[in-house]
Amino acid sequence: MSNPNETKPFIPHIAILTSSGMGHLTPSFRLAALLANNNCLVTFVTTHLTVSLAESNSISSFLSTFPQIISRNFTVLPLDPTSVNSTDPFFLQWETIRRSAHLLSPLLASSSPPLTTLVTDMMLASSFVPATADLCLPNYILFTSSAKMCSLFAYFPTAIAAYDSNEKPDIFSNGIHINDSLTIPKSWLPPPLLDPTHLFATQFVANGKQIIESAGILINTFEGLETESLQSLNRGNIVKGLPQMIPVGPLAPCDFERGQGLPWLDNQPDNSVVYVSFGSRTSMSREQIKELGNGLLTSGYKFLWVVKDKKVDKDDEDGVEEIVGHEFIEKAKDKGLVVKTWVDQVGILSHQAVGGFVTHCGWNSVVEAALCGVPMLAWPQGGDQKINANVVESRGLGLWVESWGWGGGELVKAEEIGTKIRELMINERFKIEAAHVKEKANNANKNVRALINQGL
């Protein structure tokens, strides 16, 4: 017979509201899995109309692998695209979700058992934190980029407020001076921020203002990777009175993300292959693809290259051979593998044959490479990627050729790409530092589990 005086153990019930794009969905899945595997009940809120196929496929796999996670489909209102200053499908989807914020409380109010905590993706913070205030729950923000980017994010509204539009036509010409040890140069800013009327800029400012109202920021980074930035944020050296930054990284990949493996890779010697990928939503011009392909050939290293021809996978119809050319395929026969499918990136990065990663520096890619101890050649293409590239370079995890600029700018020539790849693969210091950070990444994982067990 059970003891009537025995109290039931407290089980936190956490709702996670994710946004759009694999760079946001993936860390939300990983956080949800981490919580669900550590005695929390999780409700996961998604919008089932996604921009890309990769998103809808991964949502299905995630939900079927975790039947214990409660799934809530958030139906959003259609957005009039002429009402916003952007055509990027992901930016539009963030805005669509943001404008439906008032519909979330009614969806979550009846949760059983009642919710104890909300976690909202940073792209949605400024509309959802106020809109869910009536639920009277602590609202944490999930920040899926670097702590250095979070410093800019937190400070940017102050920088804008200090600006008198009549006196200084170019507010960014000297960069954003955050404190005596941190200035973000103008050329590193996400390009849409340079136009204050751009949808991305208005969201960025509104979301940045909101973080002060949140219960805390869960950030996919770790002490061993971004010691200084985390300290500055938490010691009030960026913005005074910020809620606590809680490093929850490196968020560990879930089993459902695992792919079938690549027999070609299994047959290559240790540390001999360069892995090349620019993430889930960056396409390159055909001209740049040609230079990159020739650069890989001239590097002398074997390569595994994921090509992307269109921003959204549904539109990516041409075959690999049409994109890279028949001549290249012939030349690359014994040298590399070129694919145009979704790959298991963590599976590749953790393969012993992979010795270097040419990356756009989407933050998830950087954290995954850090977790697997793989040095990087940073080639930022847009968004927060130059700031992330700076983290890679300053942490000694690889090199960044700043003069290459953003993707879509001046053409980077094959010869130079080949030279930099050789530098990446030869430099022992990168390998040593990457191994060191990998060890710290594994220790950080243990700390996160301890934190959650104490009750977040």
Of 116 and 364, the one with the shorter C-beta distance to ligand UDP is 364
Q: Applying CB under 6 A, which part among 40-48, 145-153, 328-336, 347-355 lies near ligand G50?
A: 145-153
- 298 with 291: CB under 8 angstroms? no
Give the nearest distance from C-beta 277 to ligand UDP in angstroms. Answer: 6
Indicate which single residue of 204, 275, 379, 404 sits in contact with ligand G50 (rule: CB under 6 A).
204
Q: Applying CB under 6 A, which part among 280-288, 330-338, 396-404, 420-428 lies near ligand UDP?
A: 280-288
What is the rounded distance in angstroms from the CA atom of residue 24 to the CA atom of residue 280? 11
Q: Applying CB under 6 A, which part among 30-38, 201-209, 434-442, 448-456 lies near ligand G50?
A: 201-209
Ranges of beta strands (E only) in 240-344 are: 245-247, 273-277, 302-306, 336-339
Collapsed DSSP state (helix, strand, coil) of residue 359:
strand
Under the criterion CB under 6 A, does residue 342 sit at the interface with ligand UDP?
yes
What is the rounded distance in angstroms from the CA atom of residue 441 to the CA atom of residue 396? 15
- 269 with 48: CB under 8 angstroms? no
Give the nearest distance from C-beta 361 to ligand UDP in angstroms. Answer: 8
What is the rounded distance in angstroms from the CA atom of residue 188 to the CA atom of residue 167? 24
Answer yes or no: 134 catalytic.
no
Answer yes or no: 326 catalytic.
no
Show the tokens assigned to 402.
């700043």
With CB under 6 A, what is the number of residues at the site for ligand G50? 13
Under the criterion CB under 6 A, does residue 268 sit at the interface with ligand UDP?
no
What is the rounded distance in angstroms from the CA atom of residue 150 to the CA atom of residue 157? 12
Under the criterion CB under 6 A, does residue 22 sit at the interface with ligand UDP?
yes
Under the criterion CB under 6 A, does residue 122 sit at the interface with ligand G50?
yes
Under the criterion CB under 6 A, does residue 249 sit at the interface with ligand UDP?
no
With CB under 6 A, what is the number of residues at the site for ligand UDP? 18
Show the tokens assigned to 94.
């963030």
Give the nearest distance from C-beta 222 to ligand UDP in angstroms. Answer: 16
From 13, 48, 80, 121, the catalytic residue: 121
CA dihedral (381, 384, 385, 387) in degrees, to 10, reads 130
Helix axes 428-453, 22-36, angle to 10 degrees: 50
Radius of gyration of the chain (CA): 22
User: Which residues of the shown chain bind ligand UDP in the complex (CB under 6 A)?
Assistant: 21-23, 26, 277, 279-282, 306, 342-343, 345, 362-365, 368
Active site residues: 24, 121
